[in-house]
Amino acid sequence: MNIIVCIKQVPNVTQVKWDADGSLIRTGLPTIINPVDKNAIEAALQLKEQHGGKVTVLSMGPSQVESALREALCMGVDDVIQLTDRKFAGADTWATSYTIGCAIQKIGDYDLVITGVEAMDGNTAQVGPQVAEYLGLPLLSYALSIAVADGKVTIDQKLGDVARVIEAKLPALVTVEKEINEYRVTPIDKLIDAFERTIPVWGVDDISPDVVHLGLKGSPTKLRKVYSPKLEKGKVEMLEGTPDEVARQLVDKLNAKFLI
Ligand SMILES: Cc1cc2nc3c(=O)[nH]c(=O)nc-3n(C[C@H](O)[C@H](O)[C@H](O)COP(=O)(O)OP(=O)(O)OC[C@H]3O[C@@H](n4cnc5c(N)ncnc54)[C@H](O)[C@@H]3O)c2cc1C
């Protein structure tokens, strides 16, 4: 069973700083694998342990994503592929998904693609579904478990108060929640191999995309402004009435501000 896992390298958002224009200061910011993507790797490794096959991890980003891929190798995946090219830069979620989709087509011969539900910096949760759409794969999202048998994949999905069991024929794409598992600690024997491996870097010429869909030019989303919202401080409003009335007023006010 051949599984492809997509991982994103993200800034460690607990240490994010913004400049005066409201832009993220990326220089010197430590990076990590998007945490839920480690659960995606773990899910793939567990399926490989049950069914055999191969786990390939791919990540699109600047040259630093190499360190995320080495960490994936440390966890025990078989192969990694780095997608780095200046023409990929400035991609929105659609251009990112298109580029990843082209790379998956180039890898070929896969049964399952696994992504995290969402990245902790972008938080759109769009890349997994858009890759599935591009590749024409059934999408099974928000998985709390994955099982494979008889050419089908089955997941437990929880959406709010609703729990569902969903099944689809392979090949398929599954997006996983962090509750799906606890990812393994790096086995010590994998460390040396992981740091000695040459990591293949694929650019535009390797994945043969239609270049009009790449990077900033191929991105339908246009970012107009990034800013830190100014929080009003020290403004207090006293609510009057019985506890029930006060609670009702509070809920209405929070609702009106779209906070709940
Ligand atoms: C107009 C515009 C320009 C942008 N320019 C840049 C830029 O120049 N540089 C930049 O870093 N970002 C840029 N971004 C942000 C970029 O689009 C997102 O980082 C990217 O599309 C992923 O979206 P997300 O973070 O919401 O991921 P989500 O959709 O929340 O991620 C879901 C899952 O998809 C997978 N995934 C997501 N991204 C990747 C990836 N890169 N490689 C492999 N797997 C992945 C992971 O498994 C992840 O858990 C830009 C966004 C916009 C709108």
Residue with tokens 């030019």: 217
pLDDT given at position 107: 97
Q: What one-letter code names the amino acid at 26?
A: R
- Residue 24, phi then psi, degrees to nearest 5: -65, 130
Query: Over the chain (260 residues), what is each successive 10-residue block's mean pLDDT?
Result: 97 73 68 96 98 98 95 95 96 97 97 97 95 98 98 94 95 98 86 90 96 94 81 81 94 87
Residue 39 lies in a domain: yes
Nearest by Cα to 60 from 107, 21, 109, 97? 97
Residue 242 lies in a domain: no
Angstrom distance (rounded) from CA 217 to CA 175 = 27
Residue 204 lies in a domain: yes
Q: 231 exposed, middle or buried (CB, 10 Å; 0-12, 13-18, 19+)?
A: exposed
Residue 252 lies in a domain: no
Nearest by Cα to 32 from 119, 126, 125? 119
Residue 50 lies in a domain: yes
Q: How many domains does the chain have?
A: 1
Q: From the CA of 85, how far away is ligand 1's center (Å)?
A: 15
pLDDT given at position 237: 86
Residue nearest to atom 10 of ligand 1 (CA): 90
Strands 201-202 and 79-83: parallel
pLDDT given at position 185: 86
pLDDT given at position 111: 98
Residue 259 lies in a domain: no
Atom from ligand 1 closest to the CA of residue 122: 25
Angstrom distance (rounded) from CA 215 to CA 143 = 30
Range(s) of the domain holding residue 9:
2-213
Which CATH number belongs to the domain containing residue 104 in this structure?
A: 3.40.50.620
Q: Which residues line ligand 1 (CB under 6 A)?
A: 6-8, 34, 36-37, 40, 59-61, 89-93, 96, 100, 115-116, 118-119, 121-128, 219, 221-223
Residue 241 lies in a domain: no
Q: From the CA of 119, how far away is ligand 1's center (Å)?
A: 7
Q: What is the pTM of this model?
A: 0.87
Query: Residues 161, 164, 170, CA angle at the centre, nearest 5°?
Result: 145
Residue 136 lies in a domain: yes
